[in-house]
C-alpha cells in the first residue's frame, strides 16, 4: 500500500538480500577489503561473521554481483545442517556432477575432475557457504579436503564462510586445527554507526525512486538508531512497518512519535509470539539479579526508552487493534481491486465507485 501512496518503484526495505541496495557502511567497506585480499590469494578460506541481520547475505550478494563470472565460478550453498557426505553431494550438485549411487571415492574423483575442467577453462571456483554456524565438524572437514585439490601447484577451489558470531568459537574448538591454518582472512561485521542510519535509509528509498515524500524530522534518525541498534535487518523491519503506518495516517513527515509508536507495536507482537507478557517499547526494563551466576534475561528486540504506564499500555493495545482493523480493510480493498480487474466492462463503474467510497472510509 505505501509503495503506491508515496509513488515508489518497489519495496525499498525488503528483507531478501538484493545487491541493488548495497550500502557502503564502514564495516561493510572493511569486509569487502578483506574479501578482496582473500580472493586475490586464490586459495584457502575467508571467514566473515556478524550478528543476525548484520548484512552477511547482502555482502555475499554484492560480492557475487561484482565478480567476473568468466574468470570465477561461484557456487552458493545455504543448506548447511548436513554431514560431510551430504556437503560433498551439495558441492557436486552445484558443479553439475552426477552423484546418484556413487561411492564417496568415486564422487570425490568426479568433483576433482570437474574442478580441473573449470580451471583449464580459465575459471577458478569459489564456494560460498552461508549460515556456516550450522555446519557440522564433518561438513567443515569435507570442505577442508576439497581445498586440498590442486593442479600445477595452484588451488582449484577457494571457500568463503559466512556465519553468526558463534562460528568463531566453533573454529577455535577442537578438531579444526587444520582448517584454522587455512584461513587467510577474517572479518566481523558490526552494526552500522549512528551517523550512518540516515544515509542508509535515504539510499534505499532513492534506489526505489523516492522523491522526498515522506520526509523525516531531524529527531527521526536518533530514534531509528535507538530502536534498531544500527542492524540493517532490524532497520528494514521497522522501516517497512513505519512506512505502512505513515501511509495509513497520510503523513508527509515522519517523526520520533511515529517511530516510537510502530516500534512499540513490533515489540508487543514479538512478546506475544514468544508467549511473553506484552511490554511496550518505552517501558523501563525490570532489573533482574542473576541467581547462581545464571545470565540475566536477554534484552528485547527494540531497546526500551521510558517508564511503564497502565494507561500507556491500554492506549497501545487500542492503537494496535485499530491498525489491525485498518489492515483488514486494506486487504479487502486489494481483493476488490483484483476482482475489479477481471470484472465485465458494464460492472467496472459501479465497482470503482464502491472501492473509492471504501478507500476514503479507510
Q: What is the mean pLDDT, run by run of 10 residues, along the chain of 362 residues?
A: 92 90 92 90 93 91 88 87 90 90 90 94 93 91 93 93 92 88 93 95 96 95 95 95 94 95 83 49 40 40 42 54 54 46 46 48 48
Calculate what percentage of the chain has a pLDDT beyond 90: 56
pLDDT score recorded for residue 345: 41
**Could you tell me the CATH superfamily of domain 26-189?**
P-loop containing nucleotide triphosphate hydrolases (3.40.50.300)
> Exposure pattern of 155-181 as b/e (b: 16+ CB <10 Å)?
bbbbbbbbbbeebeebbeeeebeebee
The rounded distance, in Å, linking the Cα atoms of 178 and 175 is 8
Handedness of CA 324, 326, 330, 332 (dihedral sign): positive
Compute the C-alpha angle 136/141/145, nearest 5°. Answer: 150
The rounded distance, in Å, linking the Cα atoms of 12 and 18 is 10
What are the grid coordinates assigned to 182, written together? 587455512
Alpha helices in 163-255 (DSSP H): 166-172, 177-180, 197-207, 220-228, 232-248
What are the grid coordinates assigned to 51, written together? 550478528
Helix pair 232-248, 197-207: axis angle to 10 deg: 60
Q: Which residue has the cell 555482502?
A: 59
pLDDT score recorded for residue 344: 46
What are the grid coordinates assigned to 133, written together? 554456524
pLDDT score recorded for residue 304: 40
Handedness of CA 279, 285, 289, 291 (dihedral sign): positive
- 253: which residues sit within 8 A by CB, 6+ positions away? 214, 215, 216, 217
pLDDT score recorded for residue 354: 54
What are the grid coordinates assigned to 187, written together? 572479518
- Closest by Cα among 274, 268, 273 to 321: 268
What are the grid coordinates assigned to 123, written together? 575459471
CB-based contact 91:146 (threshold 8 Å): yes
pLDDT score recorded for residue 284: 38
Amino acid at each position: 500500500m505505501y509503495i503506491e501512496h508515496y509513488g515508489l518503484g518497489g519495496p525499498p526495505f525488503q528483507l531478501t538480500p538484493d545487491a541493488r541496495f548495497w550500502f557502503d557502511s564502514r564495516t561493510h567497506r572493511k569486509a569487502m577489503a578483506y574479501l578482496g585480499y582473500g580472493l586475490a590469494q586464490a586459495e584457502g578460506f575467508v571467514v566473515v561473521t556478524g550478528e543476525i541481520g548484520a548484512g552477511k547475505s547482502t555482502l555475499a550478494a554484492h560480492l557475487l554481483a561484482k565478480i567476473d563470472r568468466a574468470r570465477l565460478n561461484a557456487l552458493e550453498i545455504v543448506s548447511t545442517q548436513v554431514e560431510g557426505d551430504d556437503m560433498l553431494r551439495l558441492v557436486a550438485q552445484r558443479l553439475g556432477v552426477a552423484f546418484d549411487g556413487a561411492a564417496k571415492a568415486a564422487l570425490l574423483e568426479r568433483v576433482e575432475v570437474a574442478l580441473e575442467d573449470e580451471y583449464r577453462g580459465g575459471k577458478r571456483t569459489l564456494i560460498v557457504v552461508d549460515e556456516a554456524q550450522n555446519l557440522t565438524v564433518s561438513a567443515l572437514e569435507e570442505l577442508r579436503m576439497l581445498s586440498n585439490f590442486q593442479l600445477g601447484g595452484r588451488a582449484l577451489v577457494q571457500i568463503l564462510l559466512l556465519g553468526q558470531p558463534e562460528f568463531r568459537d566453533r573454529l577455535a574448538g577442537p578438531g579444526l586445527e587444520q582448517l584454522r591454518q587455512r584461513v587467510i582472512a577474517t572479518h566481523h561485521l558490526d552494526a552500522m554507526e549512528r551517523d550512518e542510519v540516515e544515509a542508509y535509509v535515504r539510499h534505499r528509498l532513492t534506489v526505489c525512486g523516492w522523491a522526498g515524500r515522506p520526509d523525516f524530522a531531524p529527531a527521526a534518525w536518533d530514534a531509528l538508531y535507538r530502536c534498531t541498534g544500527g542492524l540493517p535487518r532490524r532497520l528494514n523491519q521497522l522501516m517497512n512497518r513505519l512506512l505502512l503506518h505513515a501511509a495509513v495516517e497520510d503523513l508527509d513527515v515522519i517523526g520520533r512519535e511515529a517511530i516510537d509508536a510502530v516500534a512499540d507495536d513490533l515489540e508487543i507482537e514479538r512478546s506475544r509470539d514468544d508467549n511473553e507478557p506484552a511490554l511496550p517499547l518505552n517501558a523501563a526494563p525490570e532489573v533482574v539479579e542473576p541467581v547462581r551466576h545464571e545470565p540475566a534475561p536477554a534484552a528485547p528486540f527494540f531497546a526500551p526508552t521510558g517508564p511503564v504506564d497502565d494507561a500507556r499500555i491500554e492506549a497501545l493495545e487500542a492503537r494496535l487493534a485499530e491498525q489491525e482493523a485498518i489492515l483488514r480493510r486494506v486487504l479487502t480493498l486489494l481483493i476488490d481491486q483484483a476482482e475489479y480487474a477481471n470484472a465485465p466492462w458494464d460492472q467496472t463503474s459501479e465497482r470503482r465507485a464502491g472501492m473509492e467510497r471504501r478507500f476514503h472510509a479507510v
